[in-house]
Chain A
Amino acid sequence: MQKLKRRSGVLMSTAALAAVSMALLGACSDGESSEGGPAAGGTYTWWDPYPQHDASSDWEGRVQACGEQAGVTIERTAYDTTALTNQALLSAQEGTAPDVILIDNPAVSTLAETGMLTTVEEFGLDTSAIDENLLAAGVVDDEAYGIPIGANTLSLYYNAEVLDNAGVDPASITDWDSLTAALQQITDAGDKGITFAAIGTEEGTFQFLPWFWGAGADLRDLSSPEAVEALELWKGWLDEGYAPNSVINNSQNTTWEEFLTGDFGFAENGTWQVNSAAEADFETGIIQLPARDGGVAPAPTGGEFIVAPVQSDTSRYDVTRQIVECMTTPEGFVETATTFAYYIPPTAEGQEQLLQDNPELEPWVEAVRSAKGRTSDGLGTDYPLISEALWTAVQNALSGVSSPQEALETAQADAEAATS
């Protein structure tokens, strides 16, 4: 919401500026013949969820470069992530959808469901090089509706000083038991154990999924014994004081701010904090999120897909394809990754190129390879409904409204009712 507000302020001032400059231009060009018409190929519209990158940013330059290659001008508009889904739906309803949208991966199946997106096949794009687990989030009924332009995921950041102080070796953490033991050691040494985000929004589910999947649970059965175990793990940490009570209201950003105070041993957070972690006042590192009985737990993939909405004028598709291709070549992926600093390319070739220049991103590439799309397993548009039931259960259990078992049983009943 904060972002939204700020954005509308920016929009207003941009609009005002535009109006003033138009008036000025009008005054200057009075009587002169018009010159410098639009670029030969016309204008193509592009929406993305990166309002933090303004018109002077590297990202804008990258987008424009792809337009120039295709011989057109790209008009880029940035929206807040949630607002983008709503805007896309509205524009499709009005028949004014943009040529290209970059959209958060769980929203792809929602948009595809409406029939507003073209399939990758219709566009003749090749997706064979894309990692299967990443592409899956955009697949509905065996048809791919978009291409991931990069991926991010969750890992466990640790504060090396806090761990040293408690005598914990991060390499020793391989499963839930060793993690809980480490949290106890840290708490006994006078520091705080771990922080994560259990807020009642999609972020809460996003953060819970590695533990949920790591226990072997399935989103189709929220009340399975494995699911209950995962929720009991979190609940246990709160009850023992290994995690603060405020996690119930924490967003991922708040969680990160808590971690940056230096009081916490661990924080569950994503690829996008790599730079911030490097600048922290203490030494940090990451380990993979452990599964219950050892090994790496599948974390959910984050990141945007590039999709092309259906247009009434199908002659535009040719240029649109060129723009999409420009964004999805191996070089394109790496360039996107370095522009954002937190994106892992979705192809093996792109990942290798990225690692040549940034070997320190190795653990993240590994995490992305074992990550799993939230809408995969054929969940598609059922995912948002199941996710809401799940985060409500997490909230109810952690705050003590009901026991983990009861909370998840209610969640399963709600999810079944909502998706039937």
Chain B
Amino acid sequence: MTSITPAIGTSTGNGRSTDPRSVAPRRGRHSRLNPSQWTAATFAAPLLIYLVMFYAYPLWRNIDLSIHDYTVRAFVQGDAEFVGLQNYVDVVRSSTFPTALRNTALFTFGSIAVQFTLGLALAVFFRTSFRLSAVLRALFLVPWLLPLIVSASTWAWMLNSDNGIVNAILTAFGLDPINWLTSPGMSLLSVTIANIWLGIPFNLVILYSGLQNIPDDLYEAAALDGASAWRRFWSITMPLLRPVSAITLLLGLIYTLKVVDVIWVMTTGGPGDTSTTLAIWSYREAFGTGQPDFSPAAAVGSLLIVIALVFGFLHLQLQRRQATS
């Protein structure tokens, strides 16, 4: 929204800057809009309406749910009691909270770190075109194209304790089978591995396109100076790729924070709470049991939004510092 209003202001301002009369209506805010401003407002209206309907209202509704005590009865009757921040207090004090927070942190940072590293490695690998490189690159996008329900179910089958192919391979090599999805120590790792596999294409595509923008002559010059491939990577690729890396990491973070489907299909957050993240917890409260419990679910959802916002601002801050330096 912020990017729209100034754009309208400047376009009308630029067109009329030579005309002294045009300054007058802009000074007094209550004066009538002139025709061109009306036109601008009309053009902006559909977008504004869209934003209000699909962003502002749901967000407001989420907050509204989280500060009232919506039992199923209150939900239908519309007479939920106002409880202030009680739902947030309950959520934070719940025994699930520390587990869910820890799992969210491990799942998110674990996923992103590996996704980014592997995505970058693949992007650099594909930078030098070779035969079939385009085909191979396209093949790497497959995880992205599959419906999540398909890939998550496939992972669940592969990691099945008794009939899974992974355990079949382990036993073939004389190793002990591992209860990937059903032992408390492994379930979070298993869903993280599946999520990493799903996230690599996204990192690969964005980082690859970032690499395209680095001029080749820099590498040629460095090669002439006798810089090794390793040295070229650290001194040219990494610094010049920083802006793209930052946005990739931020988007990856936001996507990963709110992952529900993969974990829900593979373990439903179990066994017990061992692979429950904040997003899973929120989903389970609202839709996973016989009794929808919307208020705490909305409170957990709000916490997730806050976490994502914090990292968003961190990103903006970093960007600003980069721009000024």
Q: Which residues of A contact B (CB under 8 A)?
A: 1-2, 5, 82, 85-86, 89, 92-93, 106-107, 110-111, 113-116, 199-202, 244-246, 248-249, 258, 381, 383-385, 387-388, 392, 395-396, 398-401, 414
Contact = CB atoms under 8 A, between A and B. Distances in A.
Interface residues of chain A: helix, strand, loop or mixed (majority)? helix
Contact of B149 (A1, A86, A111, A200): A1
A383 B292 contact: no
B156 interface: yes
Interface stretch (B42-50, B208-216, B242-250, B261-269): B261-269
A115 B73 contact: yes
Interface string B60-95: 000000000001110111100000000000000001
Contacts of B265: 1
B212 to A, nearest CB: 36
Chain B interface bracket (under 10, 10 to 19, 20 to 34, 35 or more): 35 or more
Contact of B272 (A2, A107, A381, A395): A395
Contact of A200 (B71, B153, B271, B291): B271
Interface string B155-197: 0100011110000000000000001011110000000000000
Contacts of A89: 72, 75-76, 292
A314 B92 CA distance: 46
A249 B179 CA distance: 11
Given A89-B72, A115-B76, 18 more contacts: A82-B287, A93-B76, A93-B78, A107-B290, A110-B291, A245-B179, A245-B182, A245-B183, A246-B160, A249-B160, A249-B181, A249-B267, A384-B291, A392-B270, A395-B271, A401-B184, A401-B272, A414-B95
Contacts, number: 113
B282 interface: no
A392 B291 CA distance: 15
A113 B290 CA distance: 13
Contact of B271 (A86, A115, A244, A396): A396
B272 A399 contact: yes
Contact of B268 (A107, A201, A401): A201
B183 A399 contact: yes
B288 interface: yes
Contact of A385 (B161, B183, B269, B291): B291
A245 B153 CA distance: 18
B289 A86 contact: no
A106, A114, A199, A202 pick with most chain B CB within 10 angstroms: A114
Interface string B273-290: 110000000000001111
A82 B291 CA distance: 10
Contact of A398 (B267, B271, B273): B271
